[in-house]
Chain A
Amino acid sequence: MANLSVTLCGVQFKNPVIAASGTFGFGREYNELYDIGVLGGVSTKGLTIHPRLGNPTPRIAESRGVILNAVGLQNPGVEHFIQNDLEWLKNTGTRVIANVAGKTLEDYKNICAKLDGLVDMIELNISCPNVKSGGMAFGIKPETVEEVTKYAKSGLKITPLIVKLSPNVENIANNAKAAQNGGADCISLINTLTGMAIDIERRKPIIANNTGGVSGAGVKPIAVRMVYEASQAVDIPVIGMGGITCAEDAIDFLMAGATAVQVGTANFTDPYAMPKIIDGLNAWCDKHGVESVSDLTGTLQLNGK
């Protein structure tokens, strides 16, 4: 039995497997299938100050090995979450990461202030590709990444801040550094890649929003490369995600520099994906004589040139 626990910014997680925001709601539905207390953590559905209805449907499409989504941050608002879901989610025994988004710098500060001290960590969504005003504007350039991080951080006294980075950028290392400079305690990546899927009979995009965020198994090599580059650029811990389907995929990310991982689309393919990944991590560590899963972080050795 390997030690699967990891520590991010002083917060201990029982294992490095965290549900990715937007694929897991607030955990209630998956808890009907298994005790979600076995998970390292849950990153909530993206929360905003005010409730949002989100985009028109269809909100999802498929392409080989990936899916595209454009839900558009439908959520009941942060107050509703605090009143109705937070205690329940905490009581499951998993770590609670509140994923938050906003339209303005002030929004980011205010929502962080509201959640400060109430959740284990806050994850800043500055890279939602599906909402014009959903933070993407902040997530592209290093200058605005740093600025929005500073604003969010100014609303926080207690809870550590994760900044979730967009892959739709010129240089991921620069944006990772910008988040660190802005005061981020941790970064997570990658959010979805912007894509399009077309219904050729109608000659129209399948998704009502025209474009959607691409995720799932097919994006993994891109995500692993970006996690490697970002983790080389910063001193703060990194949470890796993008196409993780099995324990071996999660180990890719750990070796590339991540301390923990998030799993999203795989939950749709197999609702038990995360408990299976946790079991698989334990088995892999045991088989390879790895005593603690945290020993894997950043152990990648590049081929010589």
Chain B
Amino acid sequence: MKDYIATIVKNEKIAENIHEVTFDLGEKANVRCGQFGNISVEGTHLLRRPIAICKVEDTKVTFCYQIKGEGTQRLKMMGAGTRLNVLLPLGNGFFVEENEKKIALVGGGVGVFPLISVLRQYGKDKDVSAYIGYRNKGAVCGVDEFEKANKFVGVTDDGSYGEKMNAVQAFEADLKKGNRPDVVLACGPTPMLRALKALTEKENLLCYVSLEERMGCGIGACLVCVCNLTNGQHARVCKDGPVFNANDVEL
């Protein structure tokens, strides 16, 4: 973990309301898939933007973000050459064990971007299937990455791209055909993760989910971004997560 003074190399729209920003850190960072960075957007915003790391190439790190509030509006306006503080890598990230050969990625909304980092880390050595749900055709992005998986099923809520279904339904359909993974790695809106958790519990599948919560410090000190564990305790999404075994968290 280090607070880099990072220089924007590229910052452009890749889909409806989604932008991709690439920073040059000036040195190589040791990043695991599923980890995130906390990006300062300066101005009157005192909190940084915690955003999943999508790609790491040499000294460059790429994040994809949804334009949602004033902070991301501000980030969107920043061009190449802008220098910002970026604290990374944060969180635990996704771990795939040696004996877990078949991975299913299930993602929706902005949750698809950390899954790109998983594919980039494990795609060569593992049999990866990606089930990715988008709102509509305009929101489709990252396809060039997901197509590198052994199998890619892209679907939309309105059927304007791929079949009309959500990512969990796409995964379930393939599961019923006998395509059973050793581990499921997921990120997306809470209702999607909830449905996935119910399915993987029923099917007795190992499933890890990456969670989102409004954060303060991003490093585990302020106890703002907690989630409820099934054992009645709280865990810090930024430090103990964002990736949790689906069995361990209440969704």
User: At the interface, yes or no: A1 with Cβ under 8 Å from chain B?
Assistant: no
Do B239 and A64 touch (CB < 8 A)?
no
From A30, A53, A59, A216, give the contact of B221 (CB < 8 A).
A30
Residues of chain A contacted by B215 (CB below 8 angstroms):
60
From B1, B48, B71, B219, give the contact of A269 (CB < 8 A).
B48
Residues of chain A contacted by B220 (CB below 8 angstroms):
25, 29
Do B225 and A57 touch (CB < 8 A)?
yes
**A72 — nearest CB in chain B belongs to which residue?**
B223
Do B44 and A64 touch (CB < 8 A)?
yes
Chain B nearest CB, measured from A263 CB (Å): 13
**Cα distance A269–B215 in the bound complex, in angstroms:** 12
Do B214 and A269 touch (CB < 8 A)?
no
Residues of chain B contacted by A69 (CB below 8 angstroms):
216, 222, 224
Residues of chain A contacted by B58 (CB below 8 angstroms):
none
Q: How large is the interface on A (under 10, 10 to 19, 20 to 34, 35 or more residues)?
A: 35 or more
User: At the interface, yes or no: B47 with Cβ under 8 Å from chain A?
Assistant: yes
From B3, B44, B47, B239, give the contact of A268 (CB < 8 A).
B47
User: At the interface, yes or no: B87 with Cβ under 8 Å from chain A?
Assistant: yes
**A58 — nearest CB in chain B belongs to which residue?**
B214
User: At the interface, yes or no: B40 with Cβ under 8 Å from chain A?
Assistant: yes
User: At the interface, yes or no: A302 with Cβ under 8 Å from chain B?
Assistant: no
From A32, A53, A67, give the contact of B47 (CB < 8 A).
A67
Q: How large is the interface on B (under 10, 10 to 19, 20 to 34, 35 or more residues)?
A: 20 to 34
Do B1 and A32 touch (CB < 8 A)?
yes
User: At the interface, yes or no: B85 with Cβ under 8 Å from chain A?
Assistant: yes
Interface code A52-89, partner B: CB below 8 Å = 1, 0 otherwise? 01100111111011110101001000000000000000
User: At the interface, yes or no: B213 with Cβ under 8 Å from chain A?
Assistant: yes
User: At the interface, yes or no: B13 with Cβ under 8 Å from chain A?
Assistant: no
**A215 — nearest CB in chain B belongs to which residue?**
B46
Residues of chain A contacted by B45 (CB below 8 angstroms):
62
**Cα distance A301–B82 in the bound complex, in angstroms:** 42
User: At the interface, yes or no: A253 with Cβ under 8 Å from chain B?
Assistant: no
**Cα distance A33–B219 in the bound complex, in angstroms:** 10
Do A62 and B46 touch (CB < 8 A)?
yes
**Cα distance A66–B216 in the bound complex, in angstroms:** 12
Residues of chain A contacted by B44 (CB below 8 angstroms):
64-65
User: At the interface, yes or no: A22 with Cβ under 8 Å from chain B?
Assistant: yes
Do A66 and B46 touch (CB < 8 A)?
yes
Residues of chain A contacted by B218 (CB below 8 angstroms):
268
Chain A nearest CB, measured from B210 CB (Å): 16
Do A216 and B223 touch (CB < 8 A)?
no
Contacts A30-B221, A54-B234, A268-B47 hold; do A74 and B213 have CB atoms under 8 A apart? Answer: no
Interface code B202-244, partner A: CB below 8 Å = 1, 0 otherwise? 0000000000011111111111111100000110000100000
**B219 — nearest CB in chain A belongs to which residue?**
A29
**Cα distance A54–B216 in the bound complex, in angstroms:** 15
Interface residues of B in 45-71 (CB under 8 A from A): 45-48, 71
Chain A nearest CB, measured from B22 CB (Å): 23
User: At the interface, yes or no: A23 with Cβ under 8 Å from chain B?
Assistant: yes
Contacts A60-B214, A61-B214, A269-B47 hold; do A74 and B3 have CB atoms under 8 A apart? Answer: no
Do A268 and B48 touch (CB < 8 A)?
yes
Residues of chain A contacted by B224 (CB below 8 angstroms):
57, 59-60, 69, 71
**Cα distance A30–B47 in the bound complex, in angstroms:** 16
Chain B nearest CB, measured from A206 CB (Å): 8
User: At the interface, yes or no: A117 with Cβ under 8 Å from chain B?
Assistant: no
Residues of chain A contacted by B213 (CB below 8 angstroms):
57-58
Chain B nearest CB, measured from A51 CB (Å): 9
- Return the 4 tightest CB-CB contacts between A and B, nearest first: A25-B221, A64-B44, A29-B221, A58-B214
Interface residues, chain B, with chain A CB atoms under 8 Å away: 1-3, 40, 44-48, 71, 85, 87, 213-227, 233-234, 239
